[in-house]
């Protein structure tokens, strides 16, 4: 039998009625001839409640105990889903992480998979069971302690099972009906994509389209697991949602697939730093240690007279989430005070947003950047920083122009048309 | 190090403040020099919530999935208790049933212990851990599925650990401060007992003093585990509560230790059944099959002329919980219809209560029954049925006289005096 993995997130199993609704979707796939592995999250709110209990008990908590407490939410849903499927006359049983066993590292609360042996579940499928319901987000360490994978870990569990069981597809049921060319709240012209490449999804996810967890997409890409994102609140069939797949499977040949944005960015500029080998490391080392997620980095070199000699100097600009600005400032000031770096001024702009166009087609098409800058210029949007990757061009702009910029780019690249 | 087992029920760990309070009691015992095994229930209300989820999902549910869901409540408390103890600088960790492992039968939802290997926990104690927090109420079957022991199973878990670890004592923390001579709501003269024998506790428990689960007392008696019942809501020390122990340890030499009652009883009489070998089995077999918990049984033999011969006939009276009367009636009518038994009439009295005096001393003292009947007669309480065991005398009376009878018996046996 071909294997299908189906994953239901917290809002999709929030109460008994929704679990029943999810079970109906599982039943439909069983009737299509699949052996199904269902990965479930905790009922929405449960994980937060359990985390609150732990944080209310202990400040610097033992991550092993945290994991043991927090993983229990998924166990409840797994049992209830198995029971609901049995009520529908579908042979099913639940598996907790240690029962499979889902072997992980001992890095509690951010464990990584080591192996997912197929024997136990394969044996049940061979006996005639049609569905294995697996508690997501968790595993077991070599020491026999319960581990968790960190937030979003149920998506990762689903992809890992799809890889381990050579599943035909990994369907991620969530509260949106697919991946859009951009946020429909910003432009009503946003269009649901039928397919999108892993690489594009990664760029869209990290840029703010928070449908799929980045790590799960990376894992899917590595093991070539076909991911489908679809709604658990709508009637769905084999063509619903958006398929995230290898670019070989893409039918559309658009240069640009989507416009992403990130609202709460900050731009920081170190004015006049010395341009010598090691200076970038002297700046970004302390920022990393301070837990600042630096995103874009731009450097301009010029020359400056110091006393009787001319040295190469530069301004260094970088962006980070706006809520990390205070930490970043302190890290820079401390580094200057200790003599590791020198700069004349630290200019902070907390009123910027990032807008990006993403598309696997731009690898083979010139002129995307020019078209982007032209579209923004027509709307009088000033570009403050530009950054590019192979399949993405990002700009930092004043936050107040963000929606306007997204709309303009969506139009410029005809994203409303198939 | 001597080992102490401490068990905290659901109301004793109902929220984070109460878990902290319980942890303080554990700390006090660690400071007295014990290695402590703490058995925890689910936070009060949690188990009912989980049972509600299961029952809301499935009518004839798979007990294996029920167990997997319901056991998660204890896992949460175990982790939180370990964290709270760590906050108090006490080396502690949590164990779920499968981690110990607590090996049980596969009788899901009413599993029985097979073995509790000491190795893992002993190794942690040897490493310097002072407290092992164990999730109560659960275990693991030979098939690797999670089992539960049924309601009250956390008491049983505590006693089983006390037996397995040769614990000096098993302290059951609950919402009452000990075992009383009778229900203090019925007479303010009720007095807390310092000690009580296992056998007496068993009679009191099954008769309605619902402090300790019967099965846990049976287990304690078999393995000579000294049980102490005490309040988690009061300051306690080594002399608090009531010690349930072997009669060798009893200091008091009262003939009667307590007066128990059961309010919701029913009396049923089968009028004129034939007195032949096998007739009792023909009556009580169908009742057992119908799930009727028959308690007292009384039979009176007489003779009756049937046609031209005289046969021995009898009335058979038995008692059962009032909410099982309909089931009992149907079982008797069905048995008569199928010719298995015959009777002239089935008389049902649903307005009776049972009152019992219990005391290990009555084994060697005559006159207890006479004193009991005399006390009741002075209050004009009519006795409908009498039943006796070695350490207990029970009577069925009209329910409206129940409080009066308990008070009269408490006075007659001087139970308010030490």
- Is the Cα torsion angle A41, A46, A48, A51 positive or negative in sign? negative
> In which band, very low, low, confident or very high, does the pLDDT at B401 lie, cut at 50, 70 and 90?
very high
Q: What is the pLDDT of residue A266?
A: 95
Cβ distance of B82 and A66 shorter than 8 Å:
no
Structure confidence at residue B215 (pLDDT): 87
- Write down which residue in B139, B154, B175 finishes a domain: B175
A78 Cα to chain B: minimum distance (Å): 8
Quick one: pLDDT at residue A364?
82
**Residue A216 within any structural domain of the chain:** no
Give the pLDDT band (50/70/90) at residue B275: confident
Question: Which residues of B fall within a CB distance of 8 Å from A99?
Answer: 144-145
Task: Single out the residue of B118, B173, B161 nearest to residue B137, CA to CA.
Answer: B161
Which pLDDT value is given to residue A305?
A: 73
Please list every residue in chain A whose beta carbon sits closer than 8 Å to the beta carbon of residue B64: 93
Residue B148, pLDDT score: 96
Same domain, B163 and B41: yes
Lowest mean pLDDT among A150-159, B191-200, B206-215, B365-374: B206-215
B54, B68, B74, B101: best to mutate for the A interface, most A CBs within 10 A: B68
What is the per-residue pLDDT across B142-172, written as a single tens digit (0 to 9) for each?
999 999 997 678 999 999 999 999 999 999 9
How distant, in Å, are the alpha carbons of A16, A84, B63 from that of A80? 8, 6, 12
| Per-residue pLDDT at B207 exceeds 60 | no
Tell me if A69 and B76 make a contact (CB, 8 A cut-off): yes
Compute the average pLDDT of residues B335-358. 93
pLDDT recorded at residue B208: 53
Query: Does A30 share its domain with A163?
Result: yes
Question: Cβ contact (<8 Å) for B79 and A66?
Answer: yes
**Nearest CA of chain A to the CA of B88: how many Å?**
10
Four-residue CA torsion sign, A146, A169, A234, A84? negative
Rg (CA), chain B: 24
Q: Which residues of A touch B146 (CB under 8 A)?
A: 96
In a 3-state reduction of DSSP, which class is residue B7? strand
Beta strands A146-148 and A138-140 are antiparallel
Set of chain B residues whose Cβ sits within 8 Å of the Cβ of A57: 16, 19-20, 80, 83-84, 87
Between chain A and chain B, the number of residue pairs with CB atoms below 8 A apart is 107
Taking contacts as CB-CB distances below 8 angstroms, the residues of chain B near A124 are none
- Chain A residues within 8 angstroms (CB to CB) of chain B: 16, 19-20, 50, 53-54, 56-59, 61-62, 64-66, 68-69, 72-73, 75-76, 78-80, 82-84, 86-87, 93-94, 96, 98-99, 144-146
CA distance A153 to A137: 4
pLDDT in tens, B245-263: 998 888 766 789 999 999 9
What predicted TM-score, i.e. pTM, was given to this entire model?
0.83
End position of a domain, from candidates A175, A199, A217: A175
- CB-closest option in A57, A68, A87 to B58: A87
**Distance from the A53 Cα atom to the nearest Cα atom in chain B, whole angstroms:** 7
Verify whether the Cβ–Cβ distance A62 to B83 is below 8 Å.
Answer: yes
The lowest-confidence range among A19-33, A341-355, B83-97, B360-374 is B360-374
- Is A86–B56 a contact, with Cβ atoms under 8 angstroms apart? no
Burial class (CB in 10 A: 0-12, 13-18, 19+), B188: exposed
CA distance A135 to chain B (A): 11
The per-residue pLDDT for B160 is: 97
What b-and-e string marks burial along B114-124, b requiring 16 or more CB atoms within 10 Å of the CB?
eebeeeebeeb
Contact check, Cβ <8 Å, A61/B83: yes
pLDDT greater at residue A30 or residue B418: A30
What pLDDT is recorded for position A25?
Answer: 97
Question: How does the average pLDDT of chain B come out, rounded?
Answer: 92
Distance of CA A205 to the CA centre of its chain: 5
Q: Which pLDDT score is estimated for A59?
A: 84
Distance from CA of B213 to the nearest CA of A (A): 26
The CATH code of the domain that includes B301 is: 3.30.2130.10
- What confidence category does residue B279 fall into, taking pLDDT thresholds of 50, 70 and 90? confident
Q: Which structural domain range is residue B77 located in?
A: 3-175
Q: What integer pLDDT is reported at residue B182 of this predicted model?
A: 92
Do the strands A345-358 and A383-389 form a parallel or antiparallel pair, or are they unpaired?
unpaired
Residue of A nearest to B66 (CA): A79
Helix (H, G, I), strand (E, B) or coil at A238: coil
A84 to B58: CB separation less than 8 angstroms, yes or no: yes
Rounded to two decimals, the ipTM of the complex is 0.80
Nearest CA in chain A to B82: A65
Instruction: Specify if A226 maps to a domain.
Output: no
**Which one of A148, A175, A202 terminates a domain?**
A175
Question: Is A110 within the bounds of a domain?
Answer: yes
The verdict on a CB contact (< 8 Å) between B76 and A16 is no
Tokens of B250: 């009893």
Would you state the pLDDT for residue A242?
94
Distance separating alpha carbons of residues B233 and A139, to the nearest angstrom: 37
Residues A269 and A144 grouped into a single domain: no
Predicted confidence at residue A207, as pLDDT, reads 57
End-to-end CA distance of chain A: 35
**Closest residue of chain A to B78, computed from CA coordinates:** A69
Question: Where would I find the H helices in A226-367?
Answer: 279-289, 325-337
- Same-domain pairing of A268 and A367: yes
- What's residue B298's pLDDT? 86
Give B84's contacts in chain A (Cβ within 8 Å): 57-58
CB-CB contact of B36 with B2 (8 Å): no
pLDDT at A209: 56
For residue B79, give both structure tokens: 């982790």
Q: Token match 């798979």: residue?
A: B62
pLDDT by residue, tens only, chain A of 418 residues: 899 999 999 999 999 999 999 999 999 999 999 999 999 999 999 999 999 999 999 888 999 999 999 999 999 999 999 999 999 999 999 999 999 999 999 999 999 999 999 999 999 999 999 999 999 999 999 999 999 997 778 999 999 999 999 999 999 999 889 999 999 889 999 999 999 999 999 888 765 556 788 889 999 999 999 999 999 999 988 889 999 999 888 876 678 999 999 999 999 999 988 877 888 889 999 999 998 999 999 887 767 777 777 777 788 999 999 999 999 999 999 999 998 899 999 999 999 999 999 999 888 888 899 999 999 999 999 999 998 888 999 999 999 999 999 999 999 999 998 8
Spell out which residues of chain B touch residue A56, defining contact as CB-CB under 8 Å: 16
Strands A195-197 and B297-306: unpaired
Q: Give the span between the Cα atoms of A353 and B316, in whole angstroms.
A: 88
Q: What is the pLDDT of residue B227?
A: 96
What's the number of domains chain B is made of? Answer: 2
Q: CATH number, domain at B109?
A: 3.40.1160.10
Does the beta-carbon distance from B80 to A16 stay under 8 Å? Answer: no
The percent helix, strand, coil of chain A (3-state, each to 5) is 40, 30, 35
pLDDT value, residue B408 = 97
Query: By three-state DSSP, how is residue B315 classified?
Result: strand
- Residue A277 has a pLDDT of 80
Cβ-proximal residues to B30 (8 Å cutoff; 6+ apart), any chain: B36, B90, B130, B131
- pLDDT given for residue A250 in this prediction: 86
Of B20, B76, B83, the CB nearest to A72: B76
A156 shares its domain with A271: no
Which residues from A are below 8 Å from B75, CB to CB? 68-69, 72, 75
Considering the domain boundaries, does residue B281 fall inside one? yes
Would residue A188 count as lying in a domain? no
Closest chain A residue by Cα to residue B75: A69
Whether B197 is covered by a domain: the verdict is no
Cβ contacts of A90 on chain B, cutoff 8 Å: none
Nearest-10 Cα torsion for A124, A127, A131, A137: 0
In a domain, A186, yes or no: no
Instruction: Say if residue B271 is in the same domain as residue B376.
Output: yes
Q: 3-class SS at B186?
A: coil
Structure tokens at B374: 């005399």
B264 and B151 in a single domain? The answer is no
Distances (CA, A) of B166 to B2, B118, B158: 8, 11, 12
B65 and A79: CB-CB below 8 Å?
yes
B200 belongs to a structural domain:
no
């Amino acid at each position: 039998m071909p294997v299908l993995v189906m994953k239901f997130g917290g809002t999709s199993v929030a109460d008994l009625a929704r679990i029943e609704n999810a079970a109906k979707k599982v039943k439909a796939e069983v009737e299509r001839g699949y052996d199904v592995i269902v990965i479930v999250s905790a009922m929405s709110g449960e994980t937060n409640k359990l985390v609150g209990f732990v944080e209310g008990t202990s400040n610097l908590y033992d991550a092993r105990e945290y994991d043991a407490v927090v993983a229990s939410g998924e166990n409840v849903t797994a049992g209830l889903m198995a029971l609901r499927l049995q009520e529908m006359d579908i042979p099913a049983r639940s598996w907790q992480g240690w029962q499979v066993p889902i072997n992980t590292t001992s890095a509690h609360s951010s464990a990584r998979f080591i192996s997912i042996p197929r024997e136990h579940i394969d044996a049940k499928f061979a006996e005639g069971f049609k569905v294995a319901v697996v508690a997501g987000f968790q595993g077991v360490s070599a020491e026999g302690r319960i581990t968790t994978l960190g937030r979003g870990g149920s998506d990762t569990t689903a992809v890992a099972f799809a890889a381990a069981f050579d599943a035909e597809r990994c369907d991620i049921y969530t509260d949106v009906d697919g991946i859009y060319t951009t946020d429909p709240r910003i432009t009503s012209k946003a269009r649901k994509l039928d397919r999108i490449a892993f690489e594009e999804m990664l760029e869209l996810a990290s840029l703010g389209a928070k449908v799929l967890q980045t790590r799960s997409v990376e894992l899917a890409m590595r093991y070539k697991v076909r991911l489908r994102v679809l709604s658990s609140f709508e009637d769905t069939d084999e063509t619903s949602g958006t398929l995230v797949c290898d670019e070989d499977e893409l039918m559309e040949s658009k240069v640009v697939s989507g416009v992403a944005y990130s609202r709460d960015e900050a731009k920081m500029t170190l004015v006049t730093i010395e341009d010598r080998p090691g200076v970038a490391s002297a700046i970004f080392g302390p920022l990393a240690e301070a837990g600042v997620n630096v995103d874009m980095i731009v450097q301009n070199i010029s020359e400056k007279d110091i006393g009787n000699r001319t040295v190469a100097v530069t301004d260094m600009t970088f962006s980070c989430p706006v809520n990390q600005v205070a930490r970043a400032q302190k890290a820079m000031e401390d580094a200057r005070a200790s003599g590791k770096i020198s700069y004349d001024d630290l200019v902070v702009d907390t009123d910027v947003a990032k807008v990006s166009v993403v598309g696997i087609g731009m690898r083979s098409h010139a002129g995307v950047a020019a078209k982007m800058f032209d579209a923004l210029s027509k709307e009088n949007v000033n570009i403050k920083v530009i950054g590019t990757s192979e399949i993405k061009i990002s700009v930092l702009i004043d936050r107040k122009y963000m929606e306007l910029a997204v709309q303009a780019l969506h139009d410029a690249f005809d994203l409303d048309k198939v």
